Structure 1
Amino acid sequence: MKAGFIGLGAMGAPMARYLHARGLLTAVGNRTQAKADALAAELEVRAARSHDNFADCDVVALCVSLDADVLENVNALAQVLRPGSVVVDHSTVSVQTARRAAATLQAQGIGFVDAPVSGGVEGARNGKLSVMAGGEEASVDKVRPVLEAYASRISHMGATGAGQATKAVNQVLVAGINEAVCEGLALGEKLGLDPERLLPTLMAGAAGNWFLDKRGASMLRGEFAPGFKSAHMLKDLRIVQDIAREAAIRLQTLELALADYTNLVDHGHGDSDTSVLIKLKRGS
């Protein structure tokens, strides 16, 4: 199997490296050509100059930022990939975008799997991502060797769009956890509790969670180098807002997180990690 990878950011680059380790990676591409050139040189694979350079791939994985980026890549790949090949999209986009992408590719006999991931940059670096996939079973089965390169769990959630719907649920939970952890730790600071004792105590009980474990200490030190940028969280939450509106359900946790991350982005924290939310909870 020959696989290509487009989108070599904080998540995509380590995922591509795991594909290379499995002997599957043929070509890499990125909007910033220098980034593709550097990774291609490191891994001794092809640096794509255009989508034509993916024409011999059986599977092409995408990990890009926006709905428009997904559709731009899908439209170009639809013109060059062979019938029977599959595009798997790890981006977080709307259900409608996933369905549009699938329809565009299906017209050319090309499969599509919407497969957003969870696990953060750490999960990508460790090859331990959770993949939530939507699409036809045959397409999911074809891309499984690719997904297995960097996933600890692969769940086929249903038809096209089901992966993105699952990611929407995931992001509601993530947003709520972020809110609770940042409020709790801000309270702990006000009460003068020692972080070196507080954090392991919380992690040992029912309050333990991924965000507290991976971001608790760094946020208390005032370190907000991005694992997941606040601007990307806001983008995801707006997608969830549209999905919730269509489902006719009010999500108060979502509303709070939307307001908070809009505030953070508006005040110049869009490139900071989502844990920068503690600044709001401190009142700073």
Structure 2
Amino acid sequence: MLNPENTVIGFIGIGVMGKSMAGHLLKAGYSVIVYSRTKEKATDLLSQGASWEATPKAIAEKASVIFTMVGYPTDVEEIYFGEQGLIANGTPGSYFIDMTTSAPSLAIRIYEEAKMKGIQAIDAPVSGGDVGAKEAKLSIMVGSEREAFEEVRSVLELLGTNIVYQGKPGAGQHTKMCNQIAIASNMIGVCEAIIYAEKAGLDPENVLKSITTGAAGSWSLSNLAPRMLAGNFEPGFYIKHFIKDMRIAIDEADKMGMEVPGLSLAKALYDHLAEKGEENSGTQALYKYWKN
């Protein structure tokens, strides 16, 4: 069991969600060392007591538990591998927890190479967006050795309220693919419902009062539809990252010989928006597909 008195935590990736997550660890009394490519992103955390290191290598040398929350699988590879990476410079007995949504095969590779150094690697992607990160109510999907999960469970509980051990290394990432597949088609339905309400001359905000609590209810309908109506397309989760996730899920489904028509359609719609310059908008900007 980890505790603040003898555990130094590293956190790599201070983005929309990572900043809030690292803040929860600080508030729990842990010593937290942070790194992101742009130091300015960590200003608030530094004012709260976090310390800064200029490289992942430096964090690996000082922290016994390291969270990574970056954008793409290529970023994960850059942080974990090579002479300057976490695995080469980590201390035996450490725990690496990658919360990036990434490829299951990469999670397995990280686990295997870390294990050779006496380090436990855990894939623990999350769902819940910026709101879930701020409120420490994320859903966390874990793939690892069971013993490693039990050892880090206490710090995961500082970040989320639904923490489920899914199985062996890579299982967390596969579970996140299930999550993204479900969201992808649901977002199409949410947008079409709102556009339909508008074209029918209804008050869409009033419509939401009826349908969010019925059989059509979903997190996206309750949390993102109001943002659409308010014209708020700031990212809780970037379109560019969602496209990356859908690409991974389509590739994994293809390996299993599975067709995913709903997911493929959603990706095509989001690809269209990205081509129109919306890649840095939140996923709720899918609403614009019908408005443009």
Q: How does the TM-score come out when normalised to structure 1? A: 0.96
> Does the 8 A contact of 1:4 with 1:59 survive in 2?
yes
Deviates more, 1:64-73 or 1:41-50: 41-50
> Does the 8 A contact of 2:13 with 2:68 survive in 1?
yes
> Does the 8 A contact of 2:23 with 2:45 survive in 1?
no
**Residue number among 25, 28, 33 corresponding to 1:19 in the alignment:** 25
> Does the 8 A contact of 2:72 with 2:241 survive in 1?
no
> Does the 8 A contact of 2:237 with 2:282 survive in 1?
yes
**Residue number among 32, 46, 53 corresponding to 1:48 in the alignment:** 53
Provide the C-alpha distance between the structure 1 equivalents of 2:219 and 2:21, rounded to a whole number of angstroms.
20
- Let me know the Cα RMSD of the aligned residues: 1.3
**Residue number among 57, 78, 81 corresponding to 2:63 in the alignment:** 57
Question: For each residue in 1:149-204, what CA deviation from the matched residue of structure 2 results, as whole angstroms up to 9, or x when unmatched?
Answer: 11101111011100000000000000011010001111111001012311111112
Structure 2 residue 11 is matched with structure 1 residue 5: yes
Structure 2 residue 124 is matched with structure 1 residue 124: no
* 1:53–1:172 CA distance, 2 compared to 1 (3 A): closer
Distance apart, 1:111 and its partner CA: 0.6
Distance apart, 1:33 and its partner CA: 2.2
* 1:25–1:149 CA distance, 2 compared to 1 (3 A): farther
Provide the C-alpha distance between the structure 2 equivalents of 1:68 and 1:196, rounded to a whole number of angstroms.
41
Provide the C-alpha distance between the structure 2 equivalents of 1:65 and 1:89, rounded to a whole number of angstroms.
11
Provide the C-alpha distance between the structure 2 equivalents of 1:195 and 1:273, rounded to a whole number of angstroms.
20
Provide the C-alpha distance between the structure 1 equivalents of 2:8 and 2:240, rounded to a whole number of angstroms.
34
Provide the C-alpha distance between the structure 2 equivalents of 1:67 and 1:90, rounded to a whole number of angstroms.
11
**Residue number among 41, 51, 57 corresponding to 1:35 in the alignment:** 41
Provide the C-alpha distance between the structure 2 equivalents of 1:87 and 1:237, rounded to a whole number of angstroms.
25
Partner residue in 2 for 1:274: 283
Partner residue in 2 for 1:143: 152
Partner residue in 2 for 1:165: 174
Distance apart, 1:53 and its partner CA: 3.4
**Residue number among 255, 262, 280 corresponding to 2:271 in the alignment:** 262
Q: Secondary structure of 1:132's match? A: strand
Partner residue in 2 for 1:100: 109
Q: Secondary structure of 2:140's match? A: strand
Provide the C-alpha distance between the structure 2 equivalents of 1:237 and 1:70, rounded to a whole number of angstroms.
17
Residue segments in structure 2 that go unaligned for 5+ positions in a row: 1-6
Q: Which amino acid aligns with 1:53?
A: I
> Does the 8 A contact of 1:86 with 1:142 survive in 2?
no
What does residue range 110-259 of structure 1 map to in structure 2 within 5 Å?
Answer: 110-259=119-268
Q: Secondary structure of 1:61's match? A: strand
Question: Following TM superposition, where does structure 1 have runs of at least 4 consecutive aligned residues deviating by more than 6 angstroms?
Answer: none
Question: For each residue in 1:21-77, what CA deviation from the matched residue of structure 2 results, as whole angstroms up to 9, or x when unmatched?
Answer: 1112321111112223x1442121210112223423221000000111112211211
Provide the C-alpha distance between the structure 1 equivalents of 2:171 and 2:269, rounded to a whole number of angstroms.
28
Provide the C-alpha distance between the structure 1 equivalents of 2:51 and 2:166, rounded to a whole number of angstroms.
33
> Does the 8 A contact of 1:27 with 1:40 survive in 2?
no
Deviates more, 1:2-11 or 1:53-62: 53-62
Partner residue in 1 for 2:4: none
Partner residue in 1 for 2:3: none
Residue segments in structure 1 that go unaligned for 5+ positions in a row: none
> Does the 8 A contact of 1:3 with 1:146 survive in 2?
no
Counting aligned pairs with the same residue, the percent is 37
> Does the 8 A contact of 2:60 with 2:91 survive in 1?
no
Provide the C-alpha distance between the structure 2 equivalents of 1:204 and 1:144, rounded to a whole number of angstroms.
32
Provide the C-alpha distance between the structure 2 equivalents of 1:80 and 1:146, rounded to a whole number of angstroms.
22
Q: Which amino acid aligns with 1:205?
A: G
